[in-house]
């Protein structure tokens, strides 16, 4: 079966997940992103690459921040951006997902940026487009359920490459609630595809998937052991709804065991970088001293995120 | 009394309702729309016709889909589009409709696209603009109460003309809840103005206005009889709030009697087209096999809708 | 301590409050606004002054109208505008204000237009930008708590100057709920800075700050006495939540004593102008006959407001 994200010629058709994406495509996206970081520094931060294109931010799950990053990226590429916040809980109009998509396609959409609470929704849309012969319309997954958040994974790789130059000599640790994290899945697939020799995951048993080691990672339940000599620490956000759930005693307890403090960070290499996808829960998964400290590259992640999204959109529009 | 939608020279000043609009104006809009269907196929789907104009989507009733169609149309004409969703139920600030309009006029609005739960609200605004000497500001009714939805009526006519070439030899049936439908009113006025010799309405007594035959239509309560040899079937959406109301036994019963199935459609002419204004309730007013079948032109309606709205906006801006 | 709104060279860096702003800056803004009133009359109401800039409307307090004025101003300057309505009451994601700001800065924001329920929030942001070395990012206060609403104060000054040419011979009265009004604070600072010799405040004791006379104003509790021979009447909006509060007997009682009627307006000079920041409560703080009468300049205030905001944005972007 052909990779649904690639054209017959092996070019990027959709960005649905990093899982299964060839290393050359990943590398090509990272390389395409660099010039866009330069655009962002210019007086006029605009390029005409998507002029006259209609980009739909199709958010079935509310996320002001993620929507904003895609909206900026598309506007800096001169696209016409239409934001659609579709509250699926109050589906009073009861239209199906694919009927909504069909309608927007009939309005000559060029690109869908999709955030959905259900894993696989962007894949379903891409599959439907193929079935309808609408291969010129592109889908970017902006986060689906617990499945994937590929642009986050890509901007994380861009950030790592920016600070560490290469992947093949790194030890990287991902820390926190991996069980519910689409971000972690995208990160693991990206890291292993790009040849990181050792990827570690650190968290309590209740927040690590039982079969996580099958993804080629080393599992740690003790944070200090897991952080030993790592080059990159990738913290995950603890969702608020987990904080009171059955899986955790309390945010305070979590912070004690898995919150990143300067003291725990001391176990890592002296030049380790600290990443976080945001928004941060200060004092829960990360201490403010670390979040604002010299190892943190959390804000550069955001900056690179715009460039990476511009790169993905341009590549898709050119495909 | 002068038609409030027309200038002294008989040109289109506002689009408020199809009722009373001369056939030449209707035909002129349909003709103006054709080039815009071509624009939509181009690489850069943009024209500078409304550049520097401020278009306000003034939605007092929420409708993501209708707002989206007008937003795309205006952006493809290079207008600056401002979306205002004004929740009238929580009118905590208590400003009157006309004070809101006066304010936006003072901000040099060029065009208002108005959706309102009250029949006549767009007409009230147009009247007020005339009284204030603000004839250079245009109003498009995007649906008011049970009164009118003229761009829907126009795009339906464009669709019929596209598939049937002429109007003067057609039998057209409108099916469903006509009682609460602004769409049906606009369709009937458009069809009769354009010279369709036979317009039928089909529905249960409880969902047909008592005086509907005065609009020059034939009334049917039996769907198979009503669909006999028709060229065009225009389905209406059954609003969710009706499904549980006193006027209907149940959605299932409604579907049995008035839902469009392949079997019922068999009564129509073999080359009949099936239309629906969307969003569809599959399995209530229309069967999926028909909605996705060869007779359906429901998605072309959406495509033509963008072109028709671009045509109306351009004509108004040029008036 | 340096004025946080000014650069080292004394140019406008942020617009946070009119309090402490030099008269030359105020005058410079008013003068810069005039050409923008001309732009608004043109066929294409657009200038490329902010092309490629990213302006964020950062509204922590909902205000469709104020957001709209800034959105129009920025779009007419060709900026990319991103609207962020951040509901602080449902801070389910729990990010801090400054973390949000840091993130948007990392997305290469050029300007923040900030509305916040807490007095001082825009100042806090400006201070933080300075601490981070991000002086190229500008902050405009679009209303913070009971503190300031400087663009409203400026557009009011523009309006007064437009109708009265000079400030140094005027008697101006501000009427209503000064206690809760950020607008009134900005107006008083602007009027005294621009040299208005007599500023009066009129209202019931319960709605006037105890120390108001320290701002250099004359206090009146009787409206007719306060309006005697004034050149300018600046009405304030009575917030709905005050109408039922302990500070007022009833809206009807308030109207009787402090509502502006034609009869009370008769006490002012025959060529007095009547202003209101909107939205108006007709029949509470102002009678419809006055609001729509020959003395009212309420809609010109709105028009000038767009020009003043364009002027402020251009000055900041050029600073």
> Which pLDDT value is given to residue B3?
82
Say if the Cβ atoms of B300 and A106 lie within 8 Å.
Answer: yes
C197 in a domain, yes or no?
A: yes
Segment B13-29 mean pLDDT: 97
Interface test with C, best of B49, B86, B108, B112 (most C CBs within 10 A): B108
The Cα C45–Cα C37 span in angstroms is 10
For A143-162, letters b (16+ CB in 10 Å) and e give: bbebbbbbbbbbbbbbbbbb
Work out the end-to-end distance of chain B between its first and last CA atoms, rounded to an integer number of angstroms: 20
Chain A residues in contact with B41 by the CB 8 A cut-off are 108
Segment B19-42 mean pLDDT: 95
Chain A residues in contact with B299 by the CB 8 A cut-off are 102-103, 105-106
pLDDT band at A88 (very low <50, low <70, confident <90, very high): low
pLDDT band at A93 (very low <50, low <70, confident <90, very high): low
Regarding whether C52 and C122 lie in a shared domain, the answer is yes
Between residues A232 and B246, which one has the greater pLDDT? Answer: A232
The Cα A22–Cα B58 span in angstroms is 47
Say if the Cβ atoms of C281 and B82 lie within 8 Å.
Answer: no
Q: Which residues pair with B58 in a beta bridge?
A: B84, B114
Regarding whether B179 and B274 lie in a shared domain, the answer is yes
Query: Which residue, chain included where needed, has tokens 């120390």?
Result: C211
Average pLDDT, chain B: 94
Work out the end-to-end distance of chain A between its first and last CA atoms, rounded to an integer number of angstroms: 20
- Cis amide linkage into residue C288, ω under 30° from 0: no
CB contact, 8 Å: C300 with chain B?
yes
> Which pLDDT value is given to residue B223?
98
Q: Which of C52, C92, C94 is closest, CB to CB, to A43?
A: C52
| Axis crossing angle, helix C150-164 with helix C23-39, rounded to the nearest 10 | 80
Regarding whether B179 and B288 lie in a shared domain, the answer is yes
> Which pLDDT value is given to residue C244?
72
Over 80: is that where the pLDDT of B176 sits? yes
Task: Copy the structure tokens of residue A308.
Answer: 């990476």
Cβ atoms A139, A176 nearer than 8 A: no
CB contact, 8 Å: C105 with chain A?
yes
CATH, residue C286 = 3.40.50.1370
Q: Which of C43, C76, C299 is closest, CB to CB, to B102?
A: C299
pLDDT band at C72 (very low <50, low <70, confident <90, very high): very high
The nearest CA of chain B is from the CA of A52 a distance in Å of: 4
Q: Which of C52, C53, C82 is closest, CB to CB, to A68?
A: C82
C 259-278 residues with CB < 8 A to B: 278
Over 70: is that where the pLDDT of C182 sits? yes
> Which pLDDT value is given to residue B6?
94
Segment B111-134 mean pLDDT: 96
Say if the Cβ atoms of C103 and A299 lie within 8 Å.
Answer: yes
Regarding whether A79 and A144 lie in a shared domain, the answer is yes
Regarding whether A234 and A272 lie in a shared domain, the answer is yes
B2 in a domain, yes or no?
A: no
Regarding whether B162 and B282 lie in a shared domain, the answer is yes
The Cα A172–Cα A164 span in angstroms is 11
> Which pLDDT value is given to residue A89?
55
| Pairing label, strands A171-175, A198-202 | parallel
Lowest mean pLDDT among A5-9, A19-23, A248-252, B15-19: A248-252
pLDDT band at B88 (very low <50, low <70, confident <90, very high): low
Neighbours of C46 (CB within 10 A): 18
Regarding whether C118 and C234 lie in a shared domain, the answer is no
> Which pLDDT value is given to residue C4?
86
pLDDT band at B319 (very low <50, low <70, confident <90, very high): low
The nearest CA of chain C is from the CA of B52 a distance in Å of: 4
A1 in a domain, yes or no?
A: no
> Which pLDDT value is given to residue C94?
62
Over 90: is that where the pLDDT of C2 sits? no
Query: Which residue, chain included where needed, has tokens 């294409």?
Result: C44
> Which pLDDT value is given to residue B211?
92
Q: Nearest chain B residue to A101 by CA: give it.
A: B299
Regarding whether B162 and B108 lie in a shared domain, the answer is no
Instruction: Identify the CA nearest to A69 among candidates A319, A311, A316.
Output: A311
Regarding whether B155 and B126 lie in a shared domain, the answer is no
> Which pLDDT value is given to residue B62?
85
Touching subunits for chain A (3+ Cβ pairs under 8 A)? B, C
User: How many domains does chain A contain in total?
Assistant: 2
pLDDT in tens, B125-171: 999 999 999 999 999 999 999 999 999 999 999 999 999 999 999 99
Say if the Cβ atoms of A282 and C84 lie within 8 Å.
Answer: no
> Which pLDDT value is given to residue A242?
74
pLDDT band at A41 (very low <50, low <70, confident <90, very high): confident
Regarding whether B285 and B308 lie in a shared domain, the answer is no
Interface test with A, best of B38, B299, B304, B307 (most A CBs within 10 A): B299
Element (H, E) at C182: helix C182-193
| Pairing label, strands A232-235, A273-275 | parallel
Over 80: is that where the pLDDT of B258 sits? yes
> Which pLDDT value is given to residue C178?
96
Chain B residues in contact with C305 by the CB 8 A cut-off are 107
Say if the Cβ atoms of C299 and B104 lie within 8 Å.
Answer: no
Residue B257 CA to chain centroid, in angstroms? 25
Say if the Cβ atoms of A52 and B43 lie within 8 Å.
Answer: yes
Residues near C291 by beta carbon (within 8 Å), at least 6 away in sequence: C274, C276, C280, C282, C298
The Cα B188–Cα B18 span in angstroms is 9
The Cα B50–Cα B33 span in angstroms is 15
Cβ atoms A301, A153 nearer than 8 A: no
Instruction: Identify the CA nearest to B147 among candidates B176, B175, B177, B181.
Output: B181
Segment C69-82 mean pLDDT: 97
Over 60: is that where the pLDDT of B30 sits? yes
Show the domain range for A72. 23-149+304-318
> Which pLDDT value is given to residue A232?
98
Say if the Cβ atoms of B52 and C43 lie within 8 Å.
Answer: yes
Over 60: is that where the pLDDT of B91 sits? no
The nearest CA of chain A is from the CA of B279 a distance in Å of: 6
Instruction: Identify the CA nearest to C207 among candidates C176, C185, C173, C184.
Output: C176
Segment A136-142 mean pLDDT: 97
pLDDT band at A94 (very low <50, low <70, confident <90, very high): low
Say if the Cβ atoms of A96 and B282 lie within 8 Å.
Answer: yes
Query: Which residue, chain included where needed, has tokens 């309505």?
Result: C85
Neighbours of C264 (CB within 10 A): 19
> Which pLDDT value is given to residue C43?
87
Angle, CA C112 vertex, CA A306 and CA C39 arms, to 5°:
105
pLDDT band at A319 (very low <50, low <70, confident <90, very high): low
- Residues counted in chain C: 319
CB contact, 8 Å: A302 with chain C?
yes
The nearest CA of chain C is from the CA of A47 a distance in Å of: 9
Over 90: is that where the pLDDT of C15 sits? yes
pLDDT band at A239 (very low <50, low <70, confident <90, very high): confident
Chain C residues in contact with B95 by the CB 8 A cut-off are 278-280
Percent pLDDT > 70 in chain B is: 97
Over 70: is that where the pLDDT of C91 sits? no
Average pLDDT, chain C: 94
Q: Nearest chain A residue to B46 by CA: give it.
A: A52
CB contact, 8 Å: C99 with chain A?
yes
Say if the Cβ atoms of C240 and B92 lie within 8 Å.
Answer: yes
A216 in a domain, yes or no?
A: yes
- Residues counted in chain B: 319
How far are the Cα atoms of A26, A311, C73, C105, C110 from residue A33, in angstroms, in the given order?
11, 5, 32, 19, 21
Q: In what order do the strands lie in the sheet with A80-85?
A: A80-85, A54-59, A111-116, A138-144
Say if the Cβ atoms of C46 and B80 lie within 8 Å.
Answer: yes
Handedness of CA C148, C152, C155, C161 (dihedral sign): negative
Lowest mean pLDDT among A68-82, A159-173, C30-44: C30-44
One DSSP character per residue, chain B reads ---TTB-TTS-B--B--STT--HHHHHHHHHHHHHHHHHTTSSS----TTTT-EEEEEESS--HHHHHHHHHHHHHTT-EEEEEE--STT-TT---HHHHHHHHHHTT--EEEEEESSTTHHHHHHHHHHHTT-TTSEEEEEEETTTB-HHHHHHHHHHHHHHHS-STT-EEEEES--TT-HHHHHHHHHHHHTT-SEEEEE--GGGS-TTGGGGS-EEESSHHHHHTT-SEEEE----HHHHTSTT-S-HHHHHHHHSB-HHHHTTS-TT-EEE--S---BTTTB-HHHHTSTTB-HHHHHHHHHHHHHHHHHHHHH-
Touching subunits for chain B (3+ Cβ pairs under 8 A)? A, C
C185 in a domain, yes or no?
A: yes
The nearest CA of chain A is from the CA of C301 a distance in Å of: 31
pLDDT in tens, C140-152: 999 999 999 999 9
B18 in a domain, yes or no?
A: no
How far are the Cα atoms of B103, B108, C42 from residue B129, in angstroms, in the given order?
12, 13, 20
Say if the Cβ atoms of C72 and B99 lie within 8 Å.
Answer: no
Chain B residues in contact with A96 by the CB 8 A cut-off are 282
Task: Copy the structure tokens of residue C203.
Answer: 């209202």
CB contact, 8 Å: C120 with chain B?
no
> Which pLDDT value is given to residue C41?
86
Q: In what order do the strands lie in the sheet with C273-275?
A: C218-220, C198-202, C171-175, C232-235, C273-275
The Cα B297–Cα B293 span in angstroms is 9
C8 in a domain, yes or no?
A: no
Neighbours of C92 (CB within 10 A): 9
pLDDT in tens, A184-210: 999 999 999 999 999 999 999 999 999
Regarding whether A207 and A129 lie in a shared domain, the answer is no
Instruction: Identify the CA nearest to C316 among candidates C74, C41, C18.
Output: C74
Work out the end-to-end distance of chain C between its first and last CA atoms, rounded to an integer number of angstroms: 21
A275 φ, ψ (degrees, to nearest 5):
-120, 155
Q: Nearest chain B residue to A83 by CA: give it.
A: B68
pLDDT band at B40 (very low <50, low <70, confident <90, very high): confident
pLDDT band at B241 (very low <50, low <70, confident <90, very high): confident
Cβ atoms B111, B58 nearer than 8 A: no
Question: Which DSSP letter does residue A185 get?
Answer: H
B5 in a domain, yes or no?
A: no
The Cα C35–Cα C271 span in angstroms is 26
Task: Copy the structure tokens of residue C89.
Answer: 């009451």
Segment A251-268 mean pLDDT: 96
Strands (E), A255-307: 273-275
CB contact, 8 Å: A65 with chain C?
yes
| Pairing label, strands B171-175, B198-202 | parallel
Say if the Cβ atoms of B44 and A54 lie within 8 Å.
Answer: no
Interface test with A, best of C84, C99, C129, C132 (most A CBs within 10 A): C99
pLDDT band at A165 (very low <50, low <70, confident <90, very high): very high
Over 60: is that where the pLDDT of A92 sits? no
Q: Which of B93, B103, B108 is closest, CB to CB, to C45?
A: B108
CB contact, 8 Å: A76 with chain C?
yes
Handedness of CA C264, C267, C271, C276 (dihedral sign): negative
Say if the Cβ atoms of C299 and B99 lie within 8 Å.
Answer: no
pTM of the model: 0.95
Regarding whether B258 and B160 lie in a shared domain, the answer is yes
> Which pLDDT value is given to residue C3?
82
Chain C residues in contact with B92 by the CB 8 A cut-off are 240
Question: Which DSSP letter does residue A140 get?
Answer: E
Q: Which of A44, A240, A303 is closest, CB to CB, to C94?
A: A240
Angle, CA A24 vertex, CA A18 and CA A27 arms, to 5°:
75
């Amino acid at each position: 079966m052909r990779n649904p994200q690639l054209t017959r010629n092996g070019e990027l058709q959709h960005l649905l997940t990093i899982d299964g994406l060839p290393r050359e495509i990943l590398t090509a996206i990272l390389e395409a992103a660099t010039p866009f970081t330069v655009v962002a520094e210019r007086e006029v931060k605009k390029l005409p690459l998507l002029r006259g294109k209609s980009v739909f931010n199709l958010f079935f799950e509310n996320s002001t921040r993620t929507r904003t990053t895609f909206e900026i990226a598309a506007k800096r590429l001169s696209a016409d951006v239409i934001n659609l916040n579709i509250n699926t809980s109050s589906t009073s109009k009861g239209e199906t997902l694919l009927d909504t998509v069909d309608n927007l396609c009939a309005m000559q959409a060029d690109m869908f940026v999709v955030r959905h609470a259900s894993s696989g929704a962007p894949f379903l849309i891409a599959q439907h487009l193929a079935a309808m012969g609408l291969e010129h319309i592109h889908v970017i997954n902006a986060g689906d359920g617990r499945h994937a958040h590929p642009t986050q994974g890509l901007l994380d790789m861009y950030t790592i490459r920016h600070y560490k130059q290469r992947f093949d000599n790194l030890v990287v640790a991902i820390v926190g609630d991996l069980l519910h994290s689409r971000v972690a899945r995208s990160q693991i697939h990206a890291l292993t595809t790009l040849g990181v020799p050792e990827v570690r995951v650190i968290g309590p048993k209740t927040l690590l998937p039982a079969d996580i080691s099958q993804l080629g990672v080393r599992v740690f339940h003790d944070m200090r052991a897991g952080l030993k000599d790592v080059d990159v620490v990738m913290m995950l956000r603890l969702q608020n709804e987990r904080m009171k759930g059955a899986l955790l005693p309390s945010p305070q307890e979590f912070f004690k065991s898995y919150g990143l403090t300067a003291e725990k960070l001391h176990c890592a290499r002296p030049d380790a970088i600290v990443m976080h996808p945001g928004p941060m829960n200060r004092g829960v998964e990360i201490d403010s001293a670390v979040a604002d400290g010299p190892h943190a590259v959390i804000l550069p992640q955001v900056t690179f995120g715009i460039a990476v999204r511009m790169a993905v959109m341009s590549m898709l529009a050119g495909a």
